[in-house]
Structure formats: C-alpha cells, structure tokens
C-alpha cells in the first residue's frame, strides 16, 4: 500500500518525522509509530484506532476507568494485541501498567496455588510429609509477595529487553518496552486452564511480546519474534548448563555417597 505524500509533510503526532501513510478516517499524516493497517485495506492513525476500538481505559483508570477499564484492557490485550499496542502512548506514565502487572501476577499466583503447582517443588526439596505441613504458609506467602515479584520482574525484564533491543535494530523507549512487558502479563490468565495453562501462558506471552516489540521498536514480525525469544533461549541454556553441572557433580560423588559408612 503506497501513498503519494507531499515532500515537506510531517507526522501529525511527531512534527520532526516524515509520514508514511494517511489516515483513512481523519486524513492525518502519520509515521510508522503512530498508526496501523486495520482490516487489510484500512489505514488508521492511533487516535482513530482508539476511537474505533475503544480507548485504553486502564491508562485512565484513576480518572474513572476502574475495574471495567481493567477488564476491557485485559480483553483487548488478549484478543487484539496488535491494535492494543498501536493505541497506547508509549511515553506516558507507567503507574497504570505497573498496577496491571501486579494484579496479573497475583492472579497467576492464585492459579498456581489452586492447582498445586508449587507443591511439587517443595515435595522434592522438603519431603512429602514436611511439605504437607508447611504448604498452607508457603502458598499464602507466595500470594503476599507476588506484588513485589511483579514489580521486580517487570523492571528487570524490561531492562534486559531494552538493552538487547539495540543489536536487533530497535529504537523504542524504555517506557515503551516496560509497557509491552507489563501488559503482556495478561497471559497469566491462561494459567487457570487446567494441565496446559502454564505452557499456554508462556507461549502466548511470547506472542504478545513480539506484537508489542514490533510496534514500539519498529521491527518486522520475524525480527520481533526472534527478539522476544532471545532471553528465553538464553535462560533455557543457562538452566541446561546448571543441570548438567549438577548431574556431573552428583555422578562424581556417587561412589563416595554409596560407600559403606558414608
């Protein structure tokens, strides 16, 4: 889709940028960051996307969005992530996205407790009898500390992805990266699906990352998907290396552990 734009035209939202398209609704010129193709043949600027598909009420929750704003944002992130990430302002305040991430982390922790996901780990380390006695306290602690986990993981992940974005050709802001990470926590809702919820949550989180990074860092879909996978693959590699090292250590000490009188 090509547009004949005047030589001296500028993006309506960024006066220092050259536009790439004209909004089908309002006729505004906009740059790559300020609009999207909708429905295959319509091109809308971010304001018209917001008017057509609903404003991001959660960003305005302190002005009256509240619970309904949260639920609407949750639905929009999960069902229309590309439109959602094109509709939000990536350089505004972050208190709303931090609160969103906290709520989703608490919900995810509740889902883990309901399905006993944490019990397996503590059974392994504490033994079944002791784990059974302390699990109620552990589960309560898990839920209580989940807000702290949410904030810490949000900023740490955002920093990691933001630093890695430059080698991938990304040019978005740290605030934009943080908003993508924070709103992608909506995938925690999938943990409530029995048996496969955890895997679905991880998989869909990566999809949301790729959609959001494609928007804020102006990457192509394939590059954004690869970028979203890099830290995950690095973490998996680290875990494999640690597991191999532990296995070799145990295997090397096995004769001493099995020796009489040991």
Rounded to an integer, what distance in angstroms lies between the CA atom of residue 55 and that of residue 91? 16
Phi, psi of 249 (to 5 degrees): -65, -45
- At residue 5, the pLDDT reads 80
Q: What sign has the CA pseudo-torsion 112, 113, 119, 122?
A: positive
- At residue 83, the pLDDT reads 77
Terminal-residue alpha carbon distance, the chain: 75
Q: How confident is the model at residue 61 (pLDDT cuts 50, 70, 90)?
A: very low
Q: How confident is the prediction for the chain on average, in pLDDT?
A: 80
With 60 as the cut, is the pLDDT of residue 211 above it? yes
Rounded to an integer, what distance in angstroms lies between the CA atom of residue 119 and that of residue 136? 10
Phi, psi of 169 (to 5 degrees): 85, 10
Strand pairing class (42-45; 35-38): antiparallel
Q: Mention every residue, 6+ apart, whose C-beta is less than 8 A from residue 27.
A: none
Q: pLDDT higher for 91 or 19?
A: 19
With 90 as the cut, is the pLDDT of residue 192 above it? yes
Q: How confident is the model at residue 1 (pLDDT cuts 50, 70, 90)?
A: low
- At residue 220, the pLDDT reads 85
- Chain segment 75-100, per-residue pLDDT in tens: 889 988 887 887 776 666 788 889 99
With 80 as the cut, is the pLDDT of residue 255 above it? no
- At residue 128, the pLDDT reads 65
With 50 as the cut, is the pLDDT of residue 58 above it? no
Quote the percentage of the chain above a pLDDT of 90.
Answer: 30
Q: Mention every residue, 6+ apart, whose C-beta is less than 8 A from residue 146.
A: 102, 105, 106, 108, 109
- Read off the pTM: 0.72
- At residue 62, the pLDDT reads 38
Q: How confident is the model at residue 65 (pLDDT cuts 50, 70, 90)?
A: low
Average pLDDT over residues 47-70: 60
Q: How confident is the model at residue 34 (pLDDT cuts 50, 70, 90)?
A: confident
């Amino acid at each position: 889709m090509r547009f004949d734009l005047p030589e001296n035209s500028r993006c309506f939202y960024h006066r220092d940028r050259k536009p790439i398209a004209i909004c089908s609704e309002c006729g505004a010129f906009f740059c790559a960051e300020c609009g999207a193709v909708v429905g295959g043949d319509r091109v809308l600027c971010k304001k018209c996307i917001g008017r057509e598909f609903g404003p991001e009420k959660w960003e305005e929750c302190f002005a009256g969005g509240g619970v309904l704003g949260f639920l609407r944002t949750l639905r929009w992130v999960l069902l229309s992530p590309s439109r959602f990430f094109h509709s939000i302002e990536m350089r505004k305040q972050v208190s709303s996205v931090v609160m969103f991430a906290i709520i989703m982390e608490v919900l995810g922790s509740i889902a883990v407790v309901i399905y006993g996901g944490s019990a397996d780990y503590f059974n392994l380390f504490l033994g079944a009898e002791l784990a059974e006695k302390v699990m109620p306290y552990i589960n309560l602690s898990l839920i209580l500390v989940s807000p702290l986990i949410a904030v810490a993981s949000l900023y740490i992940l955002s920093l990691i992805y933001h630093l890695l974005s430059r080698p991938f050709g990304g040019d978005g802001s740290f605030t934009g990266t943080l908003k993508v990470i924070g709103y992608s926590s909506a995938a925690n809702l999938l943990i409530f699906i029995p048996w496969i919820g955890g895997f679905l949550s991880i998989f869909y989180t990566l999809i949301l990352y790729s959609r959001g990074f494609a928007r804020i860092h102006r990457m192509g879909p394939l590059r954004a998907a690869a970028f979203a996978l890099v830290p995950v693959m690095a973490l998996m590699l680290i875990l494999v290396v640690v597991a191999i090292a532990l296995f070799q250590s145990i295997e090397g000490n096995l004769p001493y552990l099995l020796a009489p009188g040991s």
